[in-house]
Structure 1
Amino acid sequence: MLNKIRRAGAVAILACAFVIASCSPTAEETAAPRTEFSIGWSIYAGWMPWAYADQAGIVKKWADKYGIEINIVQVNDYVESVNQYTAGQLDGVTVANMDALTIPAAGGKDTSAIIVGDYSNGNDGILLKGSDSLSAIMGRQVYLVELSVSHYLLARGLESVGMSMTDVRTVNTSDADIASAFTSPDVTAAVAWNPQLSTMRQTPGANEVFSSADIPGEILDLLVVDTATLQANPNLGKALAGIWYETTALMQRQDEQGRAARAAMAELAGTTLENFEGQLATTYLYTEPQAAVAATSDAALIETMTRVRDFSFSQGLFGQGASSADAIGMAFPGGKTLGDPDHITLRFDETYMQMAADGAL
């Protein structure tokens, strides 16, 4: 996925989460009515609507409607954007479901996912040289960004052919280096996201043997907001939902206005329109609020988050104090919960998506 997470390892991330949690504002400090808010984003096909909406005046339009000011803040490093949100420097941020769980939620920051924006539908993939069968990965060194969605995708891929993580050896490789690393004859297996993935597919002898399209709906991209801030300022949620659905409706149009919007997003992402549209083709955008509400309310989301939290716990991403995968509680529509109901720090809140679906914004 475009500029997704960079992690040196579990120890570094857990140390960061501890420091962030210790300096985060308390709920009482953030739960006050306010008129100005900051939302962070980083470059990824499914998040470019936020950048374009800011440029095109759509953010201002909806913020003005509710008498607030919303600053859309680009952070060049994805994990840094999530860390800034966790530290209270941002009121909300664009983030993948796994990272929302393992960084802010695991760090004790009560977080609400108010817009389920898309899922990776081929933006992430496993590549092998010399074979078109995933089973041939047995015993290989696999280059990837460890403890990221790439690591999760590998685990799911191995599971699909009756294998486990012990059947391979992972080599931690940054997203900045993975494309060049894959050109080496010695590197025969890798997991990556776009745009690196599309480049690596062109390597002679390379075959994509598993992708996020094989596990639809599991690698989700969200807009999350601090729960206390949202509860004290519901107009923020209304404005954000209005911005998202107006912008995604525009970018879906096949007329000159729609093309111009997509071209502007491509330029903001530093790529061509053709390349950007190729990435959109492997990104399932929830452009209709009704569809987003249905996905958020579906029991399949709980199944997905069960897989995600079990993987995260197995990799030590909940910290040394977590005795089980249930250590972090999650809430879902309809009063459903997963994990510790007395320690809920990640909430999938369909309220504002439902308001958009009802035409109530």
Structure 2
Amino acid sequence: MFKLAKKPLRKLALAATLISATVASTTQIAHAADKPSYRLAWTIYVGWMPWDYGAATGIVKKWADKYNINIDVVQVNDYIESINQYTAGAFDATVMTNMDALTIPAASGVDSTALIVGDFSNGNDGVVLKGDKSLADLKGQKVNLVELSVSHYLLARGLESVNLAERDLSVVNTSDADLVAAFTTDDVTAVTTWNPLLSEIVAMPDTKLVFDSSKIPGEIIDLLVVNSDTLEQNPALGKALTGAWFEIMTTMSGNDAAAIKAKTFMADASGTDLAGYEAQLASTKMFYTPNDAVDFTNSLTLKATMAKVAEFSYQHGLLGDGAPDAGFIGIETPAGVYGDSNNIKLRFNPSYMEMAAQGKL
């Protein structure tokens, strides 16, 4: 923007200034066009709000500039639609859970890499009943949830703990946008959902949380997934994204004014206040340091978890019509491959997080 002088400028000087500014702007655009450009999609959820903060504060741009690339961070209002668009090639990277990474892009044949293991749900997902009930009381009831989502997986894992199965009850597919209102009706007596919807429902009178994701820690994992071919062609994308992420994690994990400011921004952007956002963080196991994320990814537990997820997905027809068994899609982890090693479509690659841990980004 031009700053106006107190005395009139000569037209010739002004013209020269305008021409100079235009040339500079054109040059900047040309240089930007020379850089490889990538698109990252994100949706509102406690563990993914840092991407919005990173974009708004210039942290993502700073790391992209360091590696001479452009990264466009785009909010998509519909979570599943964001994954579908990634699968179709509209985005190079997208946030998603481990189960959705397997059942949407990987099952569609898109080789994908879990670049950043950001957190796992540790109470953010739960099963709620009306009245003073227990999980075993679900037998014979209808349970409203988003069918074939992580809520469905959570319900199945909960039922196992009380020697029940899905055949012992009825699942009613309900949009997440309708779950809270549905629970206020007499016809709905049980729901399975995630925060912030879960918090709203639990706050209603005469309700009881009978099972939540803290009972299956580490099984509902929140990831940043990148197209494997794109990552292989330009590792700079992986370095920039990982560097930006852990810079944000360092900021928000503190107790100082910078941390409060960052979390307040994330709270506002997700439609809550700081107290509400911190309550959601309390039921989320965030990996604030790359060392913690690497340790989790390298563990034998991750491979076992993905085996459970694959089995559930196969039983519910989520691995595709041609899948002969739960191991149809190969899932590569540091502890080994689960499934078909000749058909690996989902990879947990901790190498970029290891670079962050070693200060090599």
How do 1:135-150 and structure 2 match up within 5 A?
A: 135-150=136-151
Question: Does residue 356 of structure 1 match 2:356?
Answer: yes
8 Å CA contact retained: 2:35, 2:70: no
SS at match of 1:46: coil
1:194-227 superposed Cα distances (whole Å, 9 cap, x missing partner): 1111010122211000000110100000001000
Q: Which residue of structure 2 aligns with residue 133 of structure 1?
A: 134
* Matches for 1:40-79 after TM superposition, within 5 Å: 40-79=41-80
Structure 2 match to 1:121: 122
SS at 2:239 equivalent: helix
Name the amino acid aligned to 1:322: A
Instruction: Structure 2: state its 5+ residue gaps.
Output: 1-33
Question: Quick one: distance in 2 between partners of 1:88 and 1:187?
Answer: 39
Is the contact made by 2:111 and 2:345 (CA closer than 8 Å) also made in structure 1? yes
Which has the larger Rg? 2
2:93 is matched with: 92
SS of corresponding position for 1:325? coil
Give the 3-state SS of the residue equivalent to 1:326 in structure 2: coil
RCO higher in structure (CA 8 A, sep ≥6): 1
Q: Which amino acid aligns with 1:301?
A: L
Which secondary structure does the structure 1 equivalent of 2:48 belong to? helix
1:210 aligns with 2:225: no
Structure 1 residue 34 displacement after superposition: 6.4
User: 1:290-341 CA distances to partner (integer Å, 9 max, x unpaired)?
Assistant: 111110010100111000010000000111111111111111115x101111
CA distance in 2, matches of 1:76, 1:130: 34
Question: Which stretch of structure 1 is more off in the superposition, 272-281 or 81-90?
Answer: 272-281
Give the root-mean-square deviation of aligned CA atoms: 1.1
Alignment of 1:1-361 (within 5 A): 35-333=36-334, 336-361=336-361
Tell me the secondary structure at the aligned position of residue 342 of structure 1. Answer: coil
How far is the alpha carbon of 1:170 from its aligned partner? 0.5
Task: Please give the alpha-carbon distance, in whole angstroms, between the structure 2 residues aligned to 1:322 and 1:235.
Answer: 35
Report the number of matched residues: 328
3-state SS of paired residue (1:236):
helix
* Structure-2 separation of matches of 1:266 and 1:202: 19
How far 1:155 sits from its partner (Å)?
0.2
In structure 1, the gaps of 5 or more residues are: 1-32
Contact in 1 for aligned 2:35/2:68 (Cα 8 Å):
no
- Residue 108 of structure 1 aligns to a residue whose secondary structure is coil
**Aligned equivalent of 1:6:** none
1:34–1:233: 8 Å Cα contact kept in structure 2?
no
TM-score when scaled to structure 2?
0.89
The aligned residue for residue 26 of structure 1 is none
Q: How big is the shift at 1:270?
A: 2.2
Q: TM-score, normalising length from structure 1?
A: 0.89
Q: SS in structure 1 opposite 2:360?
A: coil
Report the Cα distance in structure 1 between the residues aligned to 2:93 and 2:166, rounded to whole angstroms. Answer: 34
How far, CA to CA, are the matches of 2:222 and 2:92 in structure 1?
Answer: 17
Residue 68 of structure 1 aligns with an amino acid whose one-letter code is: I
Name the aligned partner's letter for residue 47 of structure 1.
W
Identity of aligned pairs, percent? 53
Alignment deviations for residues 273-292 of structure 1 (CA, whole Å, 9 cap, x no partner): 12111111111111110111
Q: How far apart, in 2, do the equivalents of 1:199 and 1:158 lie?
A: 23
Q: 2: CA distance between counterparts of 1:331 and 1:192?
A: 29
CA distance, structure 2, for counterparts of residue 245 and residue 202 of structure 1: 34
Q: Distance in 2 between matches of 1:84 and 1:188?
A: 35
Q: Aligned partners of 1:344 and 1:34: how far apart in 2?
A: 30
CA contact (8 A) 2:146 2:176 kept: yes
Task: Provide the C-alpha distance between the structure 2 equivalents of 1:56 and 1:86, rounded to a whole number of angstroms.
Answer: 28
Point out 4+ residue stretches in structure 1 off by more than 2 angstroms.
none
- Paired with 1:357 and 1:102, the residues of 2 have a C-alpha distance of 30
Classify 1:34/1:155 alpha carbon distance in 2 versus 1 (closer, same or farther; 3 Å).
Answer: farther
- Contact 1:48–1:269 (Cα < 8 Å) also in 2: yes
How far did 1:131 drift? 2.7
